[in-house]
């Protein structure tokens, strides 16, 4: 199985390639991708240099253009696609059907991957994208069990890529409006989940308080590991109780299920984290590569060290190993 690794800067890109990534995914420094954070991402020139570096090392580059086009401003996304193709991207990761149609028509030779942001999570939806736009791979949402993935795999006509490590989005990606509700901005349209412009941290005695817009997301007592200020992982007062309404601050790790994912027909394993630093990328990619090359019984000790870098310093197999239904 291929290891698909994140990069938010050219420095992180180099680290991912050097650590053994089979492919690195990245985006332009604008609203065309779902990690449009201040100071992050690639200029055209940086992407050109990075792709050249990757090619020299036999690594592929996937360019994420996975936000939804704004009516009247389609040119921003069309230009992103044209530039990514011209710069030699091995695949474009797309979410918007209009952009998929544009790429399929203008660049029929270009490999097209369906972003998780497209919310294609059943065989009918996926096969439609294969037939209509010649999609060659789908990135599945983190809301499916491994049994679901295996069932989908038997009934679709393209490759499957799944997230195995990193940030855990528990929502129907591409359809989540929690961030929009709180801030007016979303990963789908603006490329930002919990935009930094609306995030505030403050100390209240020994507690760390995180706020998003007008909402208090969490109060972490002294010594408790912290998490991102996302509504889906907030701790709220609900009726008479106080707790996590959707999910704890926790990261995904399903590397313990590699054999099952392989048996389910998964072609590529994706690491989340374009917003993370190059130290994280280097450590996670090299550890994951070592785990992939190790027998199953030796993977857990290797991966345990990554928990200290994870949100809430905890990891979960999430819906992949759903036990509560």
Residues that bind another protein (CB under 8 A): 8-12, 37-40, 196-197, 199-203, 208, 220, 222-227, 248-250, 275-280, 283, 304-305, 307-318, 321, 323
For residues 109 and 308, which CB has a smaller minimum distance to another protein in the complex?
A: 308
Q: Considering the complex, what minimum distance in angstroms separates the CB of residue 298 from another protein?
A: 16
Torsion-angle region of residue 133: left (phi > 0), alpha (psi -120 to 50) or beta? alpha
Q: Quick check: 31 and 16 in contact, CB under 8 A?
A: no
Q: What is the DSSP letter of 48?
A: H
Q: How many CA atoms lie within 13 A of 148 on its CB side?
A: 14
For residues 222 and 239, which CB has a smaller minimum distance to another protein in the complex?
A: 222
As a whole number of angstroms, the distance between CA 294 and CA 298 comes to 6
As a whole number of angstroms, the distance between CA 212 and CA 301 comes to 36
Looking at the DSSP assignment, which residues form a beta bridge with residue 215?
Answer: 212
Q: Considering the complex, what minimum distance in angstroms separates the CB of residue 280 from another protein?
A: 4
Q: Considering the complex, what minimum distance in angstroms separates the CB of residue 181 from another protein?
A: 19
Q: Quick check: 91 and 50 in contact, CB under 8 A?
A: no
As a whole number of angstroms, the distance between CA 62 and CA 5 comes to 10
Torsion-angle region of residue 127: left (phi > 0), alpha (psi -120 to 50) or beta? alpha
As a whole number of angstroms, the distance between CA 45 and CA 72 comes to 27
Q: Considering the complex, what minimum distance in angstroms separates the CB of residue 203 from another protein?
A: 7
> What tokens were used for 28?
């332009």
Greatest C-alpha distance within the chain: 59
For residues 85 and 226, which CB has a smaller minimum distance to another protein in the complex?
A: 226
Q: Considering the complex, what minimum distance in angstroms separates the CB of residue 11 from another protein?
A: 5
Q: Considering the complex, what minimum distance in angstroms separates the CB of residue 30 from another protein?
A: 12
Strands in 21-147 per DSSP E: 23-26, 60-65, 91-94, 112-114, 137-139
For residues 126 and 306, which CB has a smaller minimum distance to another protein in the complex?
A: 306
Label residue 297 exposed, middle or buried (CB < 10 Å: 0-12, 13-18, 19+): exposed
For residues 103 and 254, which CB has a smaller minimum distance to another protein in the complex?
A: 254
For residues 99 and 281, which CB has a smaller minimum distance to another protein in the complex?
A: 281
For residues 39 and 295, which CB has a smaller minimum distance to another protein in the complex?
A: 39
For residues 182 and 250, which CB has a smaller minimum distance to another protein in the complex?
A: 250
Q: Considering the complex, what minimum distance in angstroms separates the CB of residue 221 from another protein?
A: 10
Q: Considering the complex, what minimum distance in angstroms separates the CB of residue 88 from another protein?
A: 21
């Amino acid at each position: 199985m291929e290891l698909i690794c994140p990069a938010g800067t050219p420095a992180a890109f180099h680290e991912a390639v050097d650590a053994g990534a089979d492919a690195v995914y990245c985006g332009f420094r604008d609203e065309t991708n779902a990690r449009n954070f201040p100071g992050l991402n690639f200029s055209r020139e940086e992407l050109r240099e990075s792709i050249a570096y990757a090619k020299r090392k036999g690594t592929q580059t996937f360019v994420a253009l996975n936000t939804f086009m704004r009516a009247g401003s389609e040119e921003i996304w069309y230009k992103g696609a044209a530039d990514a193709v011209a710069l030699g991207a091995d695949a474009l990761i797309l979410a918007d059907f209009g952009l998929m149609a544009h790429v399929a028509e203008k660049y029929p030779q270009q490999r097209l991957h369906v972003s998780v942001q497209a919310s294609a999570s059943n065989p009918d939806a996926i096969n439609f994208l294969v037939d209509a736009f010649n999609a060659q791979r789908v990135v599945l949402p983190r809301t499916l069990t491994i049994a679901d993935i295996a069932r989908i795999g038997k009934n679709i006509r393209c490759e499957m890529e799944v997230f195995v490590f990193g940030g855990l989005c528990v929502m129907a990606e591409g359809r989540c409006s929690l961030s929009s509700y709180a801030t007016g901005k979303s990963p789908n349209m603006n490329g930002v989940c919990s935009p930094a412009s609306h995030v505030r941290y403050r100390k209240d005695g020994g507690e760390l308080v995180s706020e998003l817009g007008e909402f208090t997301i969490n109060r972490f007592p002294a010594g408790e590991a912290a998490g991102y200020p996302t509504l889906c992982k907030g701790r709220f007062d609900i009726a008479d109780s106080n707790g996590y309404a959707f999910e704890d601050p926790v990261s995904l790790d399903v590397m313990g299920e590699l054999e099952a994912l392989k048996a389910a027909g998964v072609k590529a394993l994706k690491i989340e984290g374009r917003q993370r630093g190059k130290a994280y990328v280097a450590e996670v990619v090299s550890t994951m590569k070592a785990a992939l090359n190790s027998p199953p019984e030796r993977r857990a000790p290797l991966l345990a060290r990554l928990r200290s870098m994870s949100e809430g310093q905890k990891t979960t197999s999430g819906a992949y190993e759903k036990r509560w239904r």
